């Protein structure tokens, strides 16, 4: 399903490095540089990396992540050696349609030390974060939940948001719901489960105050 799309992007919440020092927090995520090969093999074209885990191993870990992405020639968004680089959009053209993708974090906690500045590597971060709806709640304005998750998760609801951008017509969206089982690999929902999950996603999206067309 991921490979079939003209363009596929995911939010990658981990450092990609073998170095660095664990930061003073509860959870630390780290994967080897081979992760970029696995992502490419899965059909992923871009990863947005601004998140609450990309600097789990500090500035050295971020430097390793940036180096691994360069070595793999894998596009990223949301992180960089400066604020300008972290905020720079990824640009591509798909079947004649120009697309720009940015990655922005709302992470709190260590965020002040993680945000990119003109003279420091880091991630792109919003200046005025909105209230966090609480642990265990699916955040409809930010993403459709965890997608690949090996540990016991407080939320097993996941899915893929499929966007179709016709050249001379409004964008259309279809949410493809999935569930993350104990294996950590998401499986698509079917039948009643799929209909219920799609309805819940639609209700959450409405709660976010988003409209289908710009006003």
- What is the pLDDT, as a whole number, of residue 106? 80
CB 190 within 8 A of CB 154: no
Q: What is the pLDDT of residue 18?
A: 93
Percent of residues, the chain, with pLDDT higher than 70: 82
Identify the pLDDT of residue 129: 45
| DSSP H helices in the chain | 34-41, 58-72, 83-87, 111-114, 191-207
Distances (CA, A) of 61 to 102, 108, 121: 21, 19, 11
Answer whether 16's CB lies under 8 Å from 35's CB: yes
For residue 46, the SS3 value is strand
Mean pLDDT lowest among 37-46, 126-135, 186-195: 126-135
The residues spanned by each domain of the chain are 9-123, 131-215
How far is residue 74 CA from its own chain's centroid? Answer: 15
Name the DSSP letter for residue 89: P
Least confident of 54-68, 117-131, 189-203: 117-131
Tokens, residue 155? 């939320």
Residue pLDDT, tens place only, 48-76: 999 989 999 999 999 999 999 999 999 99
Q: Which residues fall within 8 angstroms of residue 134, CB to CB, at 6 or more apart? A: none
pLDDT at 194 > cutoff 80: yes
pTM for the structure as a whole = 0.85
Mean pLDDT of the chain: 86
């Amino acid at each position: 399903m991921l490979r079939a799309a003209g363009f596929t992007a995911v939010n990658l919440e981990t450092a990609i490095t073998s170095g660095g020092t664990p930061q003073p927090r509860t959870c630390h995520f780290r994967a080897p540089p081979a992760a970029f090969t696995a992502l490419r093999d899965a059909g992923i074209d871009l990863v947005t990396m601004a998140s609450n885990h990309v600097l789990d191993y500090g500035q050295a870990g971020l430097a390793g992540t940036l180096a691994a992405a360069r070595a793999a020639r894998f596009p990223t968004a949301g992180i960089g050696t400066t604020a300008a680089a972290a905020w720079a959009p990824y640009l591509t053209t798909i079947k004649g349609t120009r697309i720009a993708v940015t990655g922005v974090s709302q992470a709190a906690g260590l965020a002040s030390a993680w945000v990119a500045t003109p003279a420091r590597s880091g991630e792109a971060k919003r200046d005025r974060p909105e209230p966090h709806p609480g642990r265990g709640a699916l955040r409809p304005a930010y993403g459709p939940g965890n997608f690949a998750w090996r540990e016991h998760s407080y939320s097993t609801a996941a899915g893929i948001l499929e966007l179709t951008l016709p050249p001379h017509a409004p964008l259309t969206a279809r949410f493809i719901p999935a569930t993350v089982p104990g294996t950590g690999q998401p499986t698509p929902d079917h039948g009643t489960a799929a209909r219920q999950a799609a309805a819940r996603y639609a209700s959450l999206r409405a709660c976010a105050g988003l409209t289908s067309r710009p006003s």
